[in-house]
Amino acid sequence: DIQMTQSPSSLSASIGDRVTITCRASQTISTYLNWYQHEPGKAPKLLIYAASILQSGVPSRFSGGGSGTAFTLTISSLQPGDFATYYCQQSYSAPPRTFGQGTKVEIK
Amino acid sequence: QVQLQQWGAGLLKPSETLSQTCAVYGGSFSDYYWSWIRQPPGKGLEWIGEVNHNGATNYNPSLKSRVTISVDTSKNQFSLKLRSLTAADTAVYYCARGRGARGDLIGVYLDYWGQGTLVTVSS
């Protein structure tokens, strides 16, 4: 199985801050990497697929990058609705389609 | 607009079988991977498995011996059964649509999700 490791596990930030989350794969996955946002009590929401393609309707302050084994999710200017847990997921090899352990973004 | 609506029992006893169904409204039922994901309390997301419209399945190896995912194309529904439950299976269970540009297993992303169902396993 491909293991996905996110860092940090949690972070505190203020409105307007630039935030970057890192995701590393245990083996190369090209650009087959997805990012999801998960707010408590809601269904997860797809933000980015294929490492850098913004899902329709997702604000442009979200961006993704990377290839191979190292990937990033960046929020250019944190907004109130962005406080949530973010997960990466590899889509290179299945089964299983493994998720990272999550990064919780909290209000400073 | 695609919508996924899921239902199933929320309180089960150890050794029982979890049964969840997800109905798909809007959009095509073909050409997608219909998926199940769960989140135990205080933990992250875990991919359970998926089925396509032809009934071909992929399962998480950690659950494969206890899981069955099936599809009913006449009703645009797919279902999850998880046998021999223990307390460790307590989680919110989500159904989701897996979409990929390549038409194969690579590059699939989950673009629509059900609302989630909390399943508690307790005696």
The pLDDT tens digits for B43-54 are 999 999 999 988
For B51, name the nearest residue in chain A, comparing CA atoms only.
Answer: A95
Question: How confident is the model at residue B27, as a pLDDT?
Answer: 85
Please determine, for residue B105, whether its predicted confidence score (pLDDT) is greater than 90: no
Please determine, for residue A35, whether its predicted confidence score (pLDDT) is greater than 90: yes
Question: How confident is the model at residue A53, as a pLDDT?
Answer: 96
The pLDDT tens digits for B65-95 are 999 999 999 999 999 999 999 999 999 999 9
Please determine, for residue A59, whether its predicted confidence score (pLDDT) is greater than 80: yes
User: pLDDT class for A68, splitting at 50, 70, 90?
Assistant: very high
| B94 contacts A43? CB cut-off 8 A | yes
For A30, name the nearest residue in chain B, comparing CA atoms only.
Answer: B107
| A101 contacts B44? CB cut-off 8 A | yes
Taking residues B26-36, report their average pLDDT.
91
**CA–CA separation, B72 vs A42, rounded Å?**
26
Token duo for residue A96? 């299983």
Question: How confident is the model at residue A94, as a pLDDT?
Answer: 87
Distance from the B32 Cα atom to the nearest Cα atom in chain A, whole angstroms: 14
Distance from the A80 Cα atom to the nearest Cα atom in chain B, whole angstroms: 22
| A87 contacts B44? CB cut-off 8 A | yes
Question: How confident is the model at residue A63, as a pLDDT?
Answer: 98
Partner residue facing A91 (CB), from B58, B61, B109: B109
| A55 contacts B111? CB cut-off 8 A | yes
**CA–CA separation, A8 vs A72, rounded Å?**
11
Q: Where are the beta strands (DSSP E) in A30-91?
A: 33-38, 45-49, 53-54, 62-67, 70-75, 85-90
The size of the A-B interface in CB pairs under 8 A is 75
* pLDDT mean across residues, chain A: 97
**CA–CA separation, B85 vs A51, rounded Å?**
36
